[in-house]
Chains A and B, each alone.
Chain A
Amino acid sequence: EAQVTQNPRYLITVTGKKLTVTCSQNMNHEYMSWYRQDPGLGLRQIYYSMNVEVTDKGDVPEGYKVSRKEKRNFPLILESPSPNQTSLYFCASSTGDSIYNEQFFGPGTRLTVL
């Protein structure tokens, strides 16, 4: 089944404790992206990647890191999480023949930073 998976789905952590949210897609998509969703603010793009080893900042990259060592994986790293990073996070991917094709989204990761 073609899908984007994220782990964990739910996470409660404390300020300053490094964490990684994994994202993996099995559709051989070149393009991947991370978003956060907050009430009333829609989805805001954190980072995106056009291909392996190519990443770029979205609109809200502060406090986040990403890497793209393999085509299928695009982990989101929070080196020192803070309470304002409490949010619902979505990973997405899109076909490489046109990055402007629709994005396929993972199920979301609900992160709470205490």
Chain B
Amino acid sequence: AQKVTQAQTEISVVEKEDVTLDCVYETRDTTYYLFWYKQPPSGELVFLIRRNSFDEQNEISGRYSWNFQKSTSSFNFTITASQVVDSAVYFCALSEAGTNAGKSTFGDGTTLTVKP
């Protein structure tokens, strides 16, 4: 069975600090996809990034960067120079490609609060 663990329930930082959100996953499939979504206080869910299991390149998008390591089954998300607008709940998610194709598993989420 697939599983996603976001061990950090809540994180609080001061603006301009860097912060890393951890995501550890479990799957038996060799082909799978990992995602990060953001849920700001307004409640909508916004896609941030997708990674497939064959692409371990790290990715940077502005202040956001993602570190995918298959060896440790982790897909961590770093926000550099955090801003108040980054305050949100962040979800890591996993989709498998095999017999469970179509199933999506989300972590419990990490609530990030960025204080001015």
Q: Which residues of chain A have a CB within 8 Å of any CB of chain B?
A: 31, 33, 35, 40-45, 48, 50, 56, 58-59, 88, 90, 92, 99-105, 107-108
Contacts and interface: CB of A to CB of B under 8 A. Distances in A.
Contact of A103 (B44, B47, B103, B108): B47
Interface of B: 6, 9, 33, 35, 43-45, 47, 50, 52, 91, 93, 95, 97, 101-109
Contact of A58 (B35, B44, B91, B103): B103
Contacts of B93: 43
A59 B93 CA distance: 14
A31 B52 CA distance: 18
Contacts of A99: 95, 101-102
Nearest to A45: B104
B33 to A, nearest CB: 4
Contacts, number: 58
Given A56-B102, A105-B45, 5 more contacts: A35-B106, A45-B106, A92-B45, A107-B44, A108-B44
Nearest to A56: B102
A105 B44 contact: yes
Contacts of B109: 42
B56 to A, nearest CB: 16
A43 B97 CA distance: 20
B47 A102 contact: yes
Contact of A100 (B43, B91, B97, B108): B97
B38 to A, nearest CB: 11
Nearest to B93: A43
A98 to B, nearest CB: 9
A40 B47 contact: no
A50 B103 CA distance: 10
Nearest to A44: B106
16 contacts: A40-B108, A42-B108, A42-B109, A43-B45, A45-B106, A48-B104, A50-B101, A59-B105, A99-B101, A100-B95, A101-B50, A102-B47, A103-B35, A105-B45, A107-B44, A108-B44
